[in-house]
Structure 1
Amino acid sequence: MTVPGPSSRDGDVDALIIGAGPSGATAARLLAESGFRVTVLEQGDWPAAADYPSDKPERDLLVAGPWNPNPNHRGRPSDYPVNDSDSDVHPLMFNGVGGSSVLFWAEWPRMIPSDFRVRTLDGVADDWPLTYEELEPYYDAVDEMIGVSGLGGNIAYPPGYVPPQPPLPIGRIGRIAAEGMNKLGIGWWPGTSAILSKGVGSRGPCARWGTCGSGCPEGAKASFDVAMWPGALAAGVNLVTGARVREITVSGQGLATGATWIDRAGIEQHTAAPVVILCANGIGTPRLLQLSASSRFPDGLANSSGYVGRNLMMHPVATVLGEYEKDVEPWLGPESHPIWSMHFAETDASRGFRRGAKWTAVVLQGPVGLLQRFAELPLAERSGTAGHELVERLYGRAFEISASIEDLPAFDNRVVLDADLVDSDGIPAPKIRYTMSDESKRALDWHLDRITEVHEAAGAVSTKRVDFGGETGWHLLGTARCGTDPATSVVDGYGRSHDVPNLYVFDGSVFVTSSSVNPTPTITAFALRAAEHLVETAAGQRIPL
């Protein structure tokens, strides 16, 4: 399907963007509003809000199947398989207009200033080629564009940051978690969420469904199909869906000339463009760069450094379930982040690991989700009469607090092309190799111990550690990192390839370090800044003749 817009015939495109998720939508809108003729190729479709599982009685069944965040389980025509047999974390993502934001929980925390200077401050990893202060106005701009709710004054950030909409209610679980943290002297703050607390246009305010991760029925959540794409289309962006890109093509001079892609009928197409921008996420982008190997680029396009696909970061997450004697209304949204804490986000060497974590109170949706927390029990103890008794005891009287730790880059954690697995068009699929470090394991243990103390201080009658599980790989980062040195990075601080000066990367692949927070605010701020820079420097842009 092609959304009506300018033609994508050769010569009619100033910039070709691959991927219609948050970074692609943000860059496309800015470029189009600046007068660029933009075409976006997206292998997925427009998601239909009427199909979302969130407001349906069979939600748990739909989330386990056709709306599963793991593409290997979901298996839609727009998906490609991922060989994750050698990975501790399984990648979660959604292919379609809006990308994974269609299924994200809309937590919207910015990286903190120290996240950009980890080498300088802690002697580990590398510093970013930009600072928090340089990115701050672009954080602000994206917040206004999509509608972000929250409370100003969070001391984790420099003074002056106030989200454009008032905060959402923190609910009973937020109040209980806050009480426990207060007793232990741990700082917390109401959640900052990409969810409207006041309706805007056709988008209603949050109705507290608490099912953000399976699609928002109100349009309150800023999934980018509803929060960014209408503006991009109004600016004239040509969006082509059902377009699976197979290769970035290059000229004899080594400049990108466009992309070859396969439509849903299996027919090969090509879109020519003087500028190509990859926004295909931290797995899709390195996959495509490696698929675009040639005699001129034998190790993959833009890969003279050898860093394409390297340093994959995926944010290990674990939780502690707390049981209380009172009804805690754990089903009321937002699904995550009613309150959060950055109290332990900075390095403290006495803990036995570097960097820190973000804590988040999390709702508990449905009895199936509750029983999944007890997967280690024998089946007889979590099914039948025993399962009903477990649900009767806990449901409505338990909620979780999660720890998302900063995932430090490791060169051997990587994305490669699989030797055998292919997608439905016969294109080699990606294989990921990711091992959680011993340092990360120590960090999770330490944080889960502290979170257990919070539940106990808040009056929990029992707690249960829900240790790290593989189905947590929402954040796919670091596989085409930005930097000033072409020998140790793939792109510069504006996403421009060191090797191919008219090829850009604007997605989470550019991350140098992962922070401990959700990456989408930083991904979109980076994309907005980079797109603006592309506009400002267009007169000097090298393009194929």
Structure 2
Amino acid sequence: MAQEHFDVVVVGTGFGSLFFVEGYLSKRPAAKILMLERGAFSSHAWQLEHGKNSPITPASTFRTDAANKVWNFTIGVGGGTNCWYAQTPRFHPSDFRMRSRYGVAQDWPLDYDELEPYYLAAETKMSVAGAPEMAEILPRSAPFPQPPHKLTAVDAIMRKAQPEFHVPIATARASTAAAGRPPCCASARCNLCPVNAKFTFENGFASLRNLPNVEIRAECEVTHLDHAGGVARAAVYRKGGAEHRVTGDLFVLGANAIHSPAILLRSGIDHPLTGVGIHEQVGYSLEVLLEGLDSLDGGTITTALNYSLYDGAFRKDYGGALIYFDNRWPHGLRKEYGRWRQLAPLVVVVEDLPQDSNRVVLDHDGMPKVLHPDVSEYAKRGVQESLNNIEKVLAPLPVERIDFKGMRDTESHIQGSLRMGAERASSVIDPKQVHHDVRNLVVVGSSVFPSGPNSNPSLSVAALSLRSAALLA
């Protein structure tokens, strides 16, 4: 292939990459941009027909030393926009100041107020459905684009008793027909949404494929970046059994929190913290059996969030917990006659702290290998404390029994392997998400998180990318 040159070369096509390109083009609409994607484009119709988001399984692309730890993601055009459940809560203001407030983890090199306008821009792009009550916990400068989904009978009781903690969830699943998407069908199959109600690459970024100055090149696996003198020169990738090389002025690395550090390690861009601290939240499931209260009458898969155990001085000692109130029956309906719907399934998600023992390295053949001995003691204590307090949280409900249904294999939120910060000694990338050592290399995605908030990360990834693009473009 003849030498090619672009203004911007982007590795990956997930949330971080797509929203960076969106933000960059808003400032420089004529920029010549190439997006290199390891996977193929699998249409919504193809995903429904084949019952999966991509023909590439995540486990086939890396190795791990922890057989019981699942790392879940999608490799294909659109990345996580294909497989996500479209839950879009913002991070809490305290999440950005963990070191200052609680003496754990690291502070982010920005705060909630600085990110707020970019949160709003991302929510507008995704046409997020949400309630004004959410602003009681997560301040906002404008209303949500769409109204919230219908709450369940359980949520109505919890909301009345705990208005300061129990709020309708914000979600990029349409609540009304808008932006070319029908309303959510509440069939609880969000990774393969049967009606195309959630925001995806195909229904949200299809216009990129028609721009003459933007090319999305699929089935191109970037192996490494050529660099010299603190400047990235070219991306080297494999396609069709051959190796190709493309040069650029600005490079954006948005593979994911496993493959982005692997690309840097293969490139010899070996900052000492590259790959260090990979983690995700720790989740478990509960089933609450109710006495005389029918539920499961909400408008979407998850209808509300409860922040009772999310934030407070306790976070200096153990992780906060976010409680998801679901509108589905993952453990089956009740068997007693006439009581089929007298239950409330919950998912409780606890924050984890990045640990140096958890990291991405290269195996003997250059394939990434995830070393993950364990979650932090901080997270384990958070799990136990949330279990100890769950009865008190659920006190407004007619609870018959609370059954622990086990720890969840994964939250599908891989993060923290290329943390951001003001100082090179404690971070890989700077506050603008530029690599400390390679000054025309931007890193996007949840790999940049310096701590592990227990809210879904995709909206924050999108907002961070919009902010980075605005600062750099």
Aligned position for 2:197: 220
Aligned position for 1:13: 6
Question: Does the C-alpha gap of structure 1 residues 130 and 88 become closer, same or farther in structure 2, counting only changes over 3 Å?
Answer: farther
C-alpha separation in 2, matches of 1:408 and 1:17: 29
Q: Cα offset for 1:332?
A: 6.0
SS of residue paired to 1:281: coil
Aligned position for 1:446: 385
C-alpha separation in 2, matches of 1:434 and 1:233: 45
C-alpha separation in 1, matches of 2:426 and 2:168: 39
C-alpha separation in 2, matches of 1:15 and 1:408: 33
C-alpha separation in 2, matches of 1:430 and 1:364: 35
C-alpha separation in 2, matches of 1:413 and 1:127: 20
Matching residue's letter, 1:415: V
Q: After superposing the two structures, state which structure 1 stretch, 452-461 or 92-101, moved more.
A: 452-461
Deviations along 1:215-247, whole A, 9 cap, x unmatched? 223222012332234356447420011111111
Aligned position for 2:367: 428
Match status 1:191 vs 2:169: yes
Match status 1:483 vs 2:426: no
Match status 1:200 vs 2:178: yes
Matching residue's letter, 1:24: S
Residues 56-455 of structure 1 aligned to structure 2 (within 5 Å)? 66=52, 76=56, 80-86=60-66, 89-154=69-134, 155-158=136-139, 160-170=141-151, 172=152, 175-180=153-158, 182-183=160-161, 187-212=165-190, 214-231=191-208, 233-234=210-211, 236-251=213-228, 253-263=229-239, 265-293=240-268, 301=269, 303-304=270-271, 306-324=272-290, 328=294, 330=296, 334-336=300-302, 338-349=303-314, 353-364=317-328, 369-370=330-331, 396-419=341-364, 427-455=366-394
Question: Does the C-alpha gap of structure 1 residues 492 and 500 become closer, same or farther in structure 2, counting only changes over 3 Å?
Answer: same
Aligned position for 2:17: 24
Relative to the length of structure 2, the TM-score reads 0.90
C-alpha separation in 1, matches of 2:57 and 2:85: 24
Q: Cα offset for 1:393?
A: 10
Q: Is the 8 A contact 1:32 1:237 kept in 2?
A: no
SS of residue paired to 1:116: helix
Deviations along 1:178-226, whole A, 9 cap, x unmatched? 52575578720011001222223432222323211x2223222012332
C-alpha separation in 2, matches of 1:20 and 1:244: 12
Q: Is the 8 A contact 2:428 2:436 kept in 1?
A: yes
Question: Does the C-alpha gap of structure 1 residues 151 and 180 become closer, same or farther in structure 2, counting only changes over 3 Å?
Answer: closer
SS of residue paired to 2:146: coil
Matching residue's letter, 1:494: K
Q: Is the 8 A contact 1:286 1:479 kept in 2?
A: yes
Match status 1:507 vs 2:417: no
Q: Is the 8 A contact 1:15 1:275 kept in 2?
A: yes
C-alpha separation in 2, matches of 1:158 and 1:30: 23
Q: Cα offset for 1:441?
A: 1.3
2:35 to 40, 44, 67: 40
Q: After superposing the two structures, state which structure 1 stretch, 323-332 or 275-284, moved more.
A: 323-332
Matching residue's letter, 1:480: L
C-alpha separation in 2, matches of 1:476 and 1:391: 40
Aligned position for 1:459: 398
Q: Is the 8 A contact 1:211 1:333 kept in 2?
A: no
SS of residue paired to 1:117: helix
Deviations along 1:235-266, whole A, 9 cap, x unmatched? 74200111111111123x34211211111x32
Q: Cα offset for 1:101?
A: 2.4
Q: Is the 8 A contact 1:332 1:363 kept in 2?
A: yes
Deviations along 1:33-85, whole A, 9 cap, x unmatched? 422111001111222222445xx8xxxxx76xx55xxxxxx872787433233
Matching residue's letter, 1:189: V
Matching residue's letter, 1:443: G
Q: Is the 8 A contact 1:408 1:513 kept in 2?
A: yes
Long gaps (5+) in structure 2: none
Q: Cα offset for 1:463?
A: 2.2
C-alpha separation in 1, matches of 2:38 and 2:336: 40
Task: State the aligned residue count.
Answer: 470
Q: Cα offset for 1:451?
A: 2.9
Q: Cα offset for 1:352?
A: 8.3
C-alpha separation in 1, matches of 2:414 and 2:274: 13
C-alpha separation in 1, matches of 2:322 and 2:164: 12
SS of residue paired to 2:469: helix
Q: Is the 8 A contact 1:153 1:160 kept in 2?
A: no
Q: Cα offset for 1:162?
A: 2.3
SS of residue paired to 1:411: coil
Q: Is the 8 A contact 2:58 2:74 kept in 1?
A: no
C-alpha separation in 2, matches of 1:401 and 1:113: 24
Question: Does the C-alpha gap of structure 1 residues 413 and 93 become closer, same or farther in structure 2, counting only changes over 3 Å?
Answer: same
C-alpha separation in 2, matches of 1:410 and 1:530: 26
Q: Cα offset for 1:416?
A: 1.3
C-alpha separation in 2, matches of 1:292 and 1:363: 46
Aligned position for 1:380: none
Question: Does the C-alpha gap of structure 1 residues 45 and 135 become closer, same or farther in structure 2, counting only changes over 3 Å?
Answer: same
Question: Does the C-alpha gap of structure 1 residues 205 and 138 become closer, same or farther in structure 2, counting only changes over 3 Å?
Answer: same
SS of residue paired to 2:72: coil
Deviations along 1:379-410, whole A, 9 cap, x unmatched? xxxxxxxxx99799996543311211121221
Identity across the alignment (%): 25
Matching residue's letter, 2:138: Y
Matching residue's letter, 1:292: S
SS of residue paired to 2:360: strand
Q: Cα offset for 1:320?
A: 1.1
SS of residue paired to 2:216: strand
Root-mean-square deviation (Å):
2.9
Question: Does the C-alpha gap of structure 1 residues 270 and 88 become closer, same or farther in structure 2, counting only changes over 3 Å?
Answer: same
